Amino acid sequence: MVAKIQFHKISLALFLCLGFLAVHATCRTLQDASTTMQERHEQWMAQYGKVYKDLQEKEKRFRIFSENVNYIEAFNNAGSGNRPYKLGINQFADLTNEEFTSTRNGFKGHLYSSIDRTTTFRYENVTDVPTSVDWRQKGAVTPIKNQGQCGCCWAFSAVAATEGITKLKTGTLISLSEQELVDCDTKGTDQGCEGGLMDGAFKFMIQNGGLTTQTKYPFQGVDGKCNAKAAASHAATITGHEDVPVNNEQALMNAVANQPVSVAIDASGSDFQFYKSGVFTGSCGTELDHGVTAVGYGVSDDGTKYWLVKNSWGTTWGEEGYIRMKRDVDAAEGLCGIAKLASYPTA
């Protein structure tokens, strides 16, 4: 009898203990999963120097971060069959797609009709173009820059193309000033951090007599008053600008074979926001909202033709700040509309 009671006691204790362990274990598993995401958010915040104004904001950002991380991992795990590119948890991981596009994509496609498109195209009879070009290897591309939260991609695109033609003309690569365009090029289509057009920037450079250096007129990332003294010191001059014939990837190739070219694209999708590596194949639309620079083209290891594109979102986005975008697609306007409104400065 005594033994039996003791057995009962022991088994009860064992049962309770096991039961407790089981519940505890379940809690720990759940906790671990959410702690991991929270830890990842904390680590990500530290990595990118993110600070939130209060706990409420932090919780909101955590929720968006979690959703984005889940999206990115599901995308990457889905198998690469028709997706030869990967997404990554970059500096935009706590932003919704709407927030992301509203602050960064400042190409004013709807203003384009207010600028006369040029008709002369100096590369129209170019026939012998190499199968691949990388202007970085020719020293005609400055290091990746970062526009921050200023919607002045148009300035970065125009400056990169101008840096390229200046190097080809003078033999010297100089980092030029986007801020001068943001502050001083305000009379036509261009509105600083609120957006603009590359052709507008080229027009300003011609009228102003040139553009100064990054050193003399450094990037601030906000609209400012034009520093006329700095803007009067010209480190680079262009004589004109030309538009690449519309919706013609072969014409674009002829141009890019000869110099870095400003291009406008539709960069509004989540897949563009989180692009990490590989040849980007979309999905994307063709409503142009972002200015970037085609600094080459080539063919990937698996035979996919691509455009080599310099972005202005720092080196933590894409392939060290660059994206390779599929070239020679079925649509005449090119992937994400890359062949719709390309242009370049002439020197």
Ligand X SMILES: *[C@@H]1O[C@H](CO)[C@@H](O)[C@H](O)[C@H]1NC(C)=O
Catalytic residues: 153, 290, 311
Question: Smallest distance, Å, CB 152 to ligand X?
Answer: 32
Nearer Cβ to ligand X (82/127): 127
Q: Confirm or reject binding of residue 127 to ligand X (CB under 6 A).
A: no
Interface segment toward ligand X; rule CB under 6 A; list 120-128, 134-142, 188-196, 257-265: 120-128
Amino acid at 34: S
Other beta carbons within 10 Å of 149: 10
**Min dist. Cβ of residue 126 to ligand X (A):** 9
Distance (Å, rounded) from C-alpha 41 to C-alpha 4? Answer: 54
**H or E stretch at 316:** none
Residue owning tokens 């690569």: 173
Alpha carbon distance 17, 177 (integer Å)? 69
Give the residues across from 345 on adjacent strands.
241
Q: Do the Cβ atoms of 224 and 215 come closer than 8 Å? A: no
CA distances from 123 to 2, 4, 242, 346 (A): 102, 98, 10, 12
Closest CB to ligand X among residues 122, 187: 122
- Nearer Cβ to ligand X, position 77 or 125? 125
Minimum CB–partner distance for residue 163 and ligand X (Å)? 24
Selected from 9, 28, 110, 122, the binder of ligand X by CB under 6 A is 122
Contact 257, 126 (CB under 8 A): yes
Q: Considering only 3-11, 67-75, 119-127, 149-157, which stretch makes contact with ligand X by CB under 6 A?
A: 119-127
User: Any idea which residue has 């004589």 for tokens?
Assistant: 239
Give 230 or 342: the residue with its C-beta nearer to ligand X: 342
Burial code (b: 16+ CB inside 10 Å, e: under 16) for 84-113 equals bbebebbbbbbbebeebbeebbbbbbebbe
The pair of structure tokens assigned to 258 is 């000869």
CB of 206 to ligand X, least distance (A): 20
Judged by CB under 6 A, the stretch of 122-130, 162-170, 222-230, 302-310 that binds ligand X is 122-130
Binding residue for ligand X, selected from 59, 124, 134, 320, defined by CB under 6 A: 124
Contact flags string 69-108 toward ligand X, x per CB under 6 A: ----------------------------------------
166 CB-near residues (< 8 Å, 6+ apart): 172, 173, 174, 176, 236, 347
User: Which tokens hold the place of 85?
Assistant: 């590119």
Cβ proximity to ligand X: between 281 and 343 the closer is 343
Q: Which is nearer to ligand X, 177 or 343 (CB)?
A: 343
For ligand X, how many residues bind (rule: CB under 6 A)? 3
**C-beta nearest to ligand X: residue:** 125
Kindly tell me which residue out of 125, 228, 301, 302 binds ligand X, with binding defined by CB under 6 A. Answer: 125
Residues 297/137, Cβ–Cβ less than 8 Å: no
Closer residue to ligand X, CB minimum distance, 259 or 311? 259
Stretch that binds ligand X, among 88-96, 117-125, 249-257, 325-333 (CB under 6 A): 117-125
**Going by C-beta distance under 8 Å and a sequence separation of 6 or more, which residues neighbour residue 225?**
183
Q: How far is the CB of 123 from ligand X (least distance, A)?
A: 7
Contacting residues toward ligand X, per CB under 6 A:
122, 124-125
